[in-house]
Amino acid sequence: MIHNIHFAQYVPPTSFHTLAVTNITLAAGAVAGTICQHKAAAAETLTISIPIEMPSNSIALNGAKLASIEIDYQVLIAALTSLTPVVNLVTRGIESAVATVAAQTFTQSPTLANSLTVDKHKLVLTITTPFWMLNTQYVICQLTAVCPGTTTLDLLAAVANFTFRA
């Protein structure tokens, strides 16, 4: 039996999905050999959906138990006006049923004020009540960033931290 509390899964920026934005492109990262989604300077609200890929299981208390999500990004030129994270646990709909979405509670580090500044950031969302992933569920983390006209933003990566049991 495996029971490891230190598993992690990288989510590349190519898996991120942005809504209603025309000023975002895949680009080389600021560090050689890296990639990012780059939002060019424009006053707009950007919604970023990040699918959190983890092993799940049909048997309760097996597979992955989500503990936290880390999101790496860089704010350039001017600070963000706001940044709002949400962690949604989605239960798949079957047959004629629709999917259900339940927002999960979490603590955030750094603080909201510090996550807006011009700098490189690692936003850590620690799940208040960690949960085991069933094979009927998936997680989508969403960030809503309100950007002033001169702000550029590089979305670099995400990492899901979880316990793995099999």
Per run of 10 residues, the mean pLDDT along the chain (length 166 residues) is: 92 90 84 92 94 92 95 96 97 89 96 92 97 95 95 96 94
Pairing of strands 119-132, 63-76: antiparallel
Question: Residue 20 has what pLDDT?
Answer: 63
CA dist., res. 63 & res. 155, Å (int): 28
Question: Taking the model in full, what pTM does it have?
Answer: 0.94
CA torsion, ordered 106, 142, 36, 82, to nearest 10 deg: -80
Q: CB neighbours (10 Å) of residue 146?
A: 15
Written as six digits, the tokens of 5 are: 């509390």
